Amino acid sequence: MPRCLSLKLSIEREEPFRLANVELLSYRHSYNVRYGLLTRELRFRDRAGRETSLRSRRFVSMTRMHLAAISWELVAENWAGSVEVISALDGRVVNRGVARYQQLWGRHLDPQGPRVHAPDVIALKVRTRQSRIEIAQAARTRAYMGGEELDVARSTYQTEDYIHQVLRFDLDQGSSARVEKLIALYTSRDRAISEPLETAGRSVSRYPSFGDALEHHTQAWLELWEVCDVQLPRDERVQFLLRLHIAHLLQTCSPLTSHHDAGVPARGLNGEAYRGHVFWDELYVYPFLSYRLPGVTRQLLMYRYRRIGEARANAARAGLAGAMYPWQSGSDGEEETQVVHTNPLTGRWERDLSRNQRHVNAAIFYNVWHYYQITHDADFLREYGAEMMLEIARFWSSLAHFNPDRGRWEIHGVIGPDEFHERYPGESAGGLRNNAYTNVIVAWICETAQRVLDLLPAARRALLCSRIGLSDDEIRKWQAMSRKMFVPFHGGVISQFEGYEDLEEFDWDGYRAKHGNIQRLDRLLRAEGDTPDRYKVTKQADSVMLFFLFSPTELGDLFARLGYEYSDDLARRTIDYYDRRTSHGSTLSLVTHAGALARFDPEGSWERFIAALGSDIDDTQDGTTTEGIHLGVMAGTLDVVQRAYLGIEIRDDVLYFNPTVADRLDGLRLSIQVRRTRVIVSLDGSEITVAVPADGNTGPINVGVGVAARELCAGQSVTFKLW
Amino acid sequence: MPRCLSLKLSIEREEPFRLANVELLSYRHSYNVRYGLLTRELRFRDRAGRETSLRSRRFVSMTRMHLAAISWELVAENWAGSVEVISALDGRVVNRGVARYQQLWGRHLDPQGPRVHAPDVIALKVRTRQSRIEIAQAARTRAYMGGEELDVARSTYQTEDYIHQVLRFDLDQGSSARVEKLIALYTSRDRAISEPLETAGRSVSRYPSFGDALEHHTQAWLELWEVCDVQLPRDERVQFLLRLHIAHLLQTCSPLTSHHDAGVPARGLNGEAYRGHVFWDELYVYPFLSYRLPGVTRQLLMYRYRRIGEARANAARAGLAGAMYPWQSGSDGEEETQVVHTNPLTGRWERDLSRNQRHVNAAIFYNVWHYYQITHDADFLREYGAEMMLEIARFWSSLAHFNPDRGRWEIHGVIGPDEFHERYPGESAGGLRNNAYTNVIVAWICETAQRVLDLLPAARRALLCSRIGLSDDEIRKWQAMSRKMFVPFHGGVISQFEGYEDLEEFDWDGYRAKHGNIQRLDRLLRAEGDTPDRYKVTKQADSVMLFFLFSPTELGDLFARLGYEYSDDLARRTIDYYDRRTSHGSTLSLVTHAGALARFDPEGSWERFIAALGSDIDDTQDGTTTEGIHLGVMAGTLDVVQRAYLGIEIRDDVLYFNPTVADRLDGLRLSIQVRRTRVIVSLDGSEITVAVPADGNTGPINVGVGVAARELCAGQSVTFKLW
C-alpha cells in the first residue's frame, strides 16, 4: 500500500532533514512490544549548526481497524526560525524487501488519483494491478504548540500517484511543537462504505487526537495481553521472547485483521518473502489462537473454506476426488507454487517439485478438528468445517491405492514436510513412496472423518454427502484405510519414507567444517552438482511431526488400530534417529523437535526451544528475518509451552495437564479458553493450580492431572500436586 | 444486477416467442414454497400453426452462494425444424418496479464489457454507479437430447452492456430437448477471488448439471426446514402462509446471504420500494432467526456495528452523545430518510419529518440484548454488541432532560412508530413530547446498559469506557433515568405521547364509509388539506408495542422501578383504547396487536394474526406487494406464534412456555435453539412436550411451564400438563 506513516522536516526551507545530512548527537530507536509502538528519539546538528530534538512515535491501531498514526515532537534547541513539515501519501512504493526477487516486477499499484478532502486532509487512491482492489488513504495533519492547535500555513503538491501537504510555522528558540498525522485506510473490499476514498477522507476527519487514539490502542493491547500473556518468569530472555512472539502473532492475527481473507501468511502480513503466500504455518499458529481467541481461528479457517472450490478443481485436474488444497495459496486459492527457483549460491534456475507437499491438506484437516475440540463450535463444523474435512479425507483416499502383496494401503508420489527429498535419486518423477508422516496422519484422518459424519445432524449429513457426492463405498474405504495404512520401518525406527534406509549416510561433521551454517544443505549440495535426495539428511522434522501433533495416548491408539507395535521406545528411537540427521533448514523443525523431545529428553527439548525462540531475534537464518518474520516458528514456540511443556490435552471432555521440563516452568501462568469457559493455570513449585474466574458466563469444566480429575464451576479453583 | 435468469426461443429463425405473439393452449405458473423453485409450464401454437410445449424451471441456489440456474424442456409437438435458444446477460436493466418512483433515475449500472470465456460460457461485467461495485455474471448454456449433450451451433452477439449466445439445433416432430443455463454471479466485494469476471467464468465452467445443482439446492432447503419449520396443522391456510413467510424470510436472510452487509431491508433483497433501505423491521425478524439460525442474526447485527461510526457522527451533528442510528440506512450508514415525499393522491410534495423516529435505536439495542439472551454469545457481546448498546444508551441519555417540576426525566422532539403524528397540530417543529413507547423503553435501556457493563470482563469494560468516553456520571444518569423516566397517562391508559388526550376524536365510521380502505388516512387527510396530527388516530401500534416486546413480568418490574402502577387492567385498557383508534396503515401494526392481545383476547388476537398473515398474499395494501414483500410482517407473524401464542420466554436461565390461544395450537410443533442446545416443542391437546435431541453436542437446559421447571439433558424430554 502507499507509504503514509512518515513525515519530513525542513528548517528555513532548506533540504529536508535526513540522517545522512546532519550530525547525529543522540539516537534511540525502540519498539514497545507490549503496545506495538515504535519510537525514535534523536537530537541532531545540521550544517548551519542548529540543534534540533525530535521524538517520533507511530502505531497501527489495535482498536480501530482503519486507523494508523504518527506523532512528532520537535524542539528547536538553539535556534529560532520557520519550520516546514511535509506530510505525504506516496503511491510510488515498490516491493524491494527480498534481494533474490530483484528481477521480479516490484510495482503493484496503479494510480487512481490524489484529492484534497479538507484543508487539513489529503487523500490518495491506488489500485492493485492484478486483483484490482482499490486502496484509499487519507491523512489528517495538524500542528500543536502548548496544547493549542497552530494556525499553520498549508500548501499542497500532487502528481497522479503522490500527494503531500506542507505545514509551515515558526518556532522560537527552546520552544517545542507537536505534529500529528492520522491515517485512515480503506479498500474497495471493505464493508459499510460507499466508496473507499470518500470514506477514508470522512473517517480521518472524525478521528480523535493522536493521544486519545494511542490511549485506546494501548488499552486494546492490555486487554489482549490479559487473554494472551504467557508468564514464564524464571528466565528473563525466554520471557521476553515469548512476549515478542505473542506481539508479532497478534499483529498478524487479531480480531481486527482476521476477517481480511488473507489467511495466515508465512511471513506475516507485511513480510515480502514468499510473496505473501500461505503455506501450512497455520498448523503452528492455531493452537495458541484457538485456546485464547477462538473467533480469530474461526475467521482464519474461513480463508480455506472460501477456497474449497479451487481445491476441488485442483484435485479434479490431478484426477483425484475431494479437495486438494495447494501447497502455496494466494488470493483465489489456486496453486501458486513456483515450478522453478533460483539457487542464490549459483544464480542457476532449478526445478522445484515442492508442490508435492500435499501434507498441507492434512494440516488443514487437523486444524479444523482441533478448533472444534477446543471450542465445540458445532455451528462452524456443520456449516464449513465438516465439508473441508470430508473433502480432504476423500482426496487422500482417492490418492491411496491398495497393495495386495502387503495387504495394506499405500500413498505414492507425495513428499513430507522435509523438502530435501523431492524424489528418489536418479528418478525423474517427483514424489516418494509412503511418507510415514503422511500415511499415519491419513489413517487418523480416515478415522476422524467418520466421527465428523457422526457429529452432523442427519439433514446436514445427507446434504453434504449429496453435494460432494460422497458414497458409502468411500466411507467403507476410509474404515479400511484407518486400519490398514502402510507405515515403513527400518532398524527399529519409523522410516521417513519407503527406501530411506537405502540412502547414503551424510558426512555432517565434514560438511559443517567446510561450510559453517549448513541449514540450507540443499543449496550447497546442488551448487556442487550433488543433491540431498541421495542422503539420509532431513531439512526439517517429518516423521517426528507425529510426536509433536499427537499425544502418546493418541499415537498408541492410532498404531494399535493399524496393527503396528507402538511404544515410548519407538518414539524415543525415531526422534533420536532423525535428530541426528536433520539440518533444521526450516526453524519450524526446532519447534517440532522441542515438542517431541519434551517427554523424553527435557534438556534436549529446552535447547531446541531456546534455539527456536532466537531464530528471528538473532536472524539465525542469515538475513531472512529482514524479509519478514517467521510466524509459524514464533507461534510454535508458544505452542511448545502450552502443549508440550504444560501438557495441555482435551480427552474425553476433560482438560488434562501433564507438565514436562517442570523445573523450567516454576512461576508459569497463562489463561486459556475451552468451550467458552476461561481457565487460569499457574504452576508454582510442585503444584499446579487451575481456576475458573467468577466473571463471565461460563459452564462447568472438567480438569485433570494424571488420573485425578474434577469439575470446576465459575469462581472455583483446584490445586494438584505434581510430584 | 444484469438480467440473467431467462432464455428466448426462436423457431425457424422467426421472431422469438412471446406470450403476445402466440396462441396459449395451456399455462401454469407456480412457485414451490418448500424449495424456492419457480416453474412455468405452457403449450402454445404459433402463427405457423406449430404447437410447442415448454417447461421452465429456475432457482437461486441455497447451497452455492454464487449459483443460479434455469432449465427449459421443449417439445416440438406437431412440427420438425430448427430451433434457436438465445441465452443472454443483459446489463441494460432499469429499476421500474415502483410506480411513484418513475421520475427518479432508474439506471444504476455502468457497462464494463462482455466477454466470451469459453465456447459455452459468456460473461458480462457492470459497475454500480455510486458505490462502484463491480458485478460480474457468467452463463454456461448447454442443450441436451435424451440425456446426451447436443453438439449445437453457437453464435454470439454483444454490445458494451449486453451479450448473448445463440444455440441452434434441430428438433424432430414429437421430440424434446432440454436447455440448461447456469449462472455464476460475483462482485468485487467477494472474498477469495482474483477478479470477479475471471472468477465468474471459471466457476460457471465447473458447476454441476442443472439436475445436480437443483438436487443440492433442494437438500439445503430440506435442512433449513428441519430447523425452521413451524407446524400448525389445524388450519391449512394458516399452515401454508406460515411456511410462505418462512420461505421468504430465508430467501432474504440465510447463512448464504447474511454476510453480504445488506442488513435486513424492509422489502427483501429485491423489492424496489424504499430503495432497498433498512428501517427497523429487523425487530420483527430476529426473534425467529435467533432461535433457529443465530449465526444469521449475528452476521446481520454486524450490519449495524460496521456503521457505528456514522451513527456517532449523526449524533454529534445533532449535538448529542453516543450513536444515533438513522431511521433509513443504506450502504454506509448515513441518514437516508427523504425530507419531502409525494402524496400519490395529489402528486404534491409534502414535508417529511419521519427521520425523527429515533426509536430505531431502541430496536437495535433490544435486538442485541435478545440475541445475547438466546445465545449467550459472550464473544459477540464483548467485541461488538456492548459497544452498540452502550452508545445507544448514551444517545438516549443525552437526549433526555430532567424536568424539576415533575421530578422526572423527559424526552422531547422525537416520534414513536406511529407516523401519523409528526408534530403537534399548528406547531412547525417536528417531534412530540414524551412518547410513551420511547420513554418506557429508554428506562429499560438505561437499566439494561448497566447489566451489560457488569457482563463485560474488566479489561474490555475499561477499554470501551475509554474509547467511547463513557463516564461514571453518565452511568449514574442511567441509574436515575431507569427509575425516573416520565410516562404520560390519561383516563386510565398510557398516553401515546404527552397531550394525546387533547386531540380530537376522529369519525372513523364516517371516513370509512366515504373512502373504503383508510389504512393510509394520512394521505387522504392531507389531500383534503387536513392533517392526522389533529386527531386521536394512530397509523400503527405505538404504545401497544410495549405489550408485544416485553412479557407481563418484565413490564411489571419496569413500571414498579419507575414508580408507576402496572396491572393487567392497564395493559388491557391501553391496548383496547388504541385498537379502536389505529388504522393499521403499516401491517406491522397487526402483528403487534395480535401479539399484545394474545393474553387478553385470544379471538381478537387471532383475527389480527390472520389479517397480518394475509397482507402480502392478498396484497391488502393495494398493490404494494408488487413493489416488494413486507419482510417485517412476514417474520412478525412467525414471532407471534412462538412468543405470543407458545409464550416462549427466557427468564433466570429457564426457558419458559406459556401458551395462549391454546385451542388453535393443537398439533403445533417447532424446534428452537437456545444457547447451543436444540429443543423440540410439541403441543398436543392439553399437553406440551419439550425434548432435547440426542444428537449433537448440547449442554443441559432448564425448561418450565408456569412454576414447574426441570433440567433436560441430551436425549431427554418432559411433558407438562397445561390445563
What residues are paired with B211 via a beta bridge?
A: none
Q: What is the pLDDT of residue A63?
A: 94
Q: Do the chains contact at A189 and B194, CB–CB below 8 Å?
A: no
Contacts of A457 in chain B (CB under 8 A): 223, 226, 695-696
Contacts of B306 in chain A (CB under 8 A): 191-192
Q: Do the chains contact at B193 and A332, CB–CB below 8 Å?
A: yes
Q: Which three cell numbers stand for residue A458?
A: 442427519
Side chain identity at A288, as an amino acid letter? F
Closest to B696 (Cβ–Cβ): which among A203, A312, A457?
Answer: A457
Q: Do the chains contact at B194 and A261, CB–CB below 8 Å?
A: no
Which one from B391, B419, B474, B627 is the annotated catalytic residue? Answer: B419
- Chain B residue with minimum CA distance to A193: B332
Q: Which three cell numbers stand for residue B172?
A: 424432430
Q: Do the chains contact at A458 and B695, CB–CB below 8 Å?
A: yes
Q: Do the chains contact at A194 and B332, CB–CB below 8 Å?
A: yes
Side chain identity at A23, as an amino acid letter? E
Our CA dihedral for B416, B420, B423, B427, rounded to 10 degrees, sits at: -170
Interface test with B, best of A67, A135, A194 (most B CBs within 10 A): A194
Closest to A192 (Cβ–Cβ): which among B199, B222, B261?
Answer: B261
Q: Do the chains contact at A255 and B383, CB–CB below 8 Å?
A: yes
Residue A220, helix vs strand vs coil: helix
Q: What is the pLDDT of residue A699?
A: 76
Q: In this structure, what are the phi and psi dihedrals at residue A319, rounded to the nearest 5 degrees?
A: 75, 25
Q: What is the pLDDT of residue B1?
A: 86
Contacts of A194 in chain B (CB under 8 A): 130-131, 331-332
Question: What pTM value is reported for the model?
Answer: 0.95
How far B466 CA lies from chain A's nearest CA (Å)? 7
- Chain A residue with minimum CA distance to B452: A696
Q: What is the pLDDT of residue A652?
A: 86
Rounded Cα–Cα distance for residues B275 and B269 (Å):
10
Nearest to residue A475, comparing CAs of A458, A461, A486? A461
Whether B80 and B158 have beta carbons less than 8 Å apart is answered as no
Contacts of B696 in chain A (CB under 8 A): 378, 455, 457
ipTM: 0.92
Closest to A467 (Cβ–Cβ): which among B63, B310, B378?
Answer: B63
Closest to B131 (Cβ–Cβ): which among A194, A222, A459?
Answer: A194
Q: Do the chains contact at A697 and B455, CB–CB below 8 Å?
A: yes
Q: What is the pLDDT of residue A697?
A: 58
Interface test with A, best of B112, B219, B260 (most A CBs within 10 A): B219
Nearest to residue A681, comparing CAs of A221, A223, A375, A291? A291
Q: Do the chains contact at B192 and A261, CB–CB below 8 Å?
A: yes
CA distances (Å), origin B152, targets A443, B165, B179: 47, 11, 11
- Chain B residue with minimum CA distance to A303: B192
In sequence order, the 6+-apart residues with CB closer than 8 A to the CB of A219 are: A63, B459, B462, B463, B466, B467
Residue B86, helix vs strand vs coil: strand
Q: Do the chains contact at A307 and B192, CB–CB below 8 Å?
A: yes
The CA-to-CA distance between both ends of chain B, in Å, stands at 55
The whole-angstrom distance between residue B678's C-alpha and the CA centroid of its chain comes to 24
Rounded Cα–Cα distance for residues B533 and A9 (Å):
63
Active site residue B335: no
Mean of the per-residue pLDDT values of chain B: 94
How far A457 CA lies from chain B's nearest CA (Å)? 7
Closest to B379 (Cβ–Cβ): which among A188, A295, A455?
Answer: A295
Q: Do the chains contact at B189 and A193, CB–CB below 8 Å?
A: no
The whole-angstrom distance between residue A188's C-alpha and the CA centroid of its chain comes to 25
Helix extents (H) in B530-630: 545-549, 552-562, 568-579, 588-597, 602-613
Please give the positions of A annotated as active site: 419
- Chain A residue with minimum CA distance to B296: A379
B117-137 exposure pattern, b = at least 16 Cβ within 10 A, e = fewer: beebbbbbbbbbeebebbbbb
Cα radius of gyration (chain A): 28
Helix B210-228 with A458-468: angle, nearest 10 deg: 170
- Point out the residues of chain B with pLDDT beneath 70: 696-697
Neighbours of A192 (CB within 10 A): 21
Rounded Cα–Cα distance for residues A396 and A412 (Å):
11
Whether B183 and B68 have beta carbons less than 8 Å apart is answered as yes
A248 sits in which H/E element: helix A236-252
DSSP E strands in A3-48: the ranges are 7-11, 23-32, 37-45
Closest to B195 (Cβ–Cβ): which among A132, A303, A467?
Answer: A132
Q: Given its phi and psi angles, is residue A257 left (phi above 0), alpha (psi -120 to 50 degrees) or beta?
A: alpha
What residues are paired with A718 via a beta bridge?
A: A690
Side chain identity at B367, as an amino acid letter? N
- Point out the residues of chain A with pLDDT beneath 70: 696-698
* Residues shown for chain B: 723
How far A432 CA lies from chain B's nearest CA (Å)? 31
pLDDT per position as a tens digit, B626-646: 889 999 999 999 999 999 999
Contacts of B215 in chain A (CB under 8 A): 466
User: What sign does the dihedral B653-B658-B659-B661 (CA atoms) show?
Assistant: negative
How far B355 CA lies from chain A's nearest CA (Å)? 20
Biggest CA pair distance of chain A = 91
Helix extents (H) in B66-209: 196-206
Q: Do the chains contact at A378 and B63, CB–CB below 8 Å?
A: no
**Number of Cβ pairs < 8 A linking chain A and chain B:** 135
Closest to A383 (Cβ–Cβ): which among B255, B312, B378?
Answer: B255
Q: Do the chains contact at B463 and A379, CB–CB below 8 Å?
A: no
Nearest to residue B383, comparing CAs of B444, B306, B296, B446? B306
Cα radius of gyration (chain B): 28
User: What sign does the dihedral A166-A169-A172-A176 (CA atoms) show?
Assistant: negative
Contacts of A332 in chain B (CB under 8 A): 192-194, 199
Interface test with B, best of A223, A336, A671 (most B CBs within 10 A): A223
Whether A521 and A585 have beta carbons less than 8 Å apart is answered as yes
How far A369 CA lies from chain B's nearest CA (Å)? 14
Q: Do the chains contact at A223 and B192, CB–CB below 8 Å?
A: no
Rounded Cα–Cα distance for residues B26 and B42 (Å):
5
Rounded Cα–Cα distance for residues A85 and B284 (Å):
54
Nearest to residue B608, comparing CAs of B630, B575, B631? B575
Q: Do the chains contact at B192 and A333, CB–CB below 8 Å?
A: yes
DSSP state letters, B323-388: ----SSB-SS--B---SEEEETTTTEEEE--GGG-TTHHHHHHHHHHHHHHHH--HHHIIIIIHHH
Q: Which three cell numbers stand for residue B401?
A: 432532560
B278-315 exposure pattern, b = at least 16 Cβ within 10 A, e = fewer: bbbbbbbbbbbbbbbbbbbbbbbbbbbbbbbbbbbbbb
Rounded Cα–Cα distance for residues A222 and B557 (Å):
38
Helix extents (H) in A324-435: 359-375, 378-380, 386-399
Closest to A696 (Cβ–Cβ): which among B215, B457, B463?
Answer: B457
Contacts of B309 in chain A (CB under 8 A): 203, 206
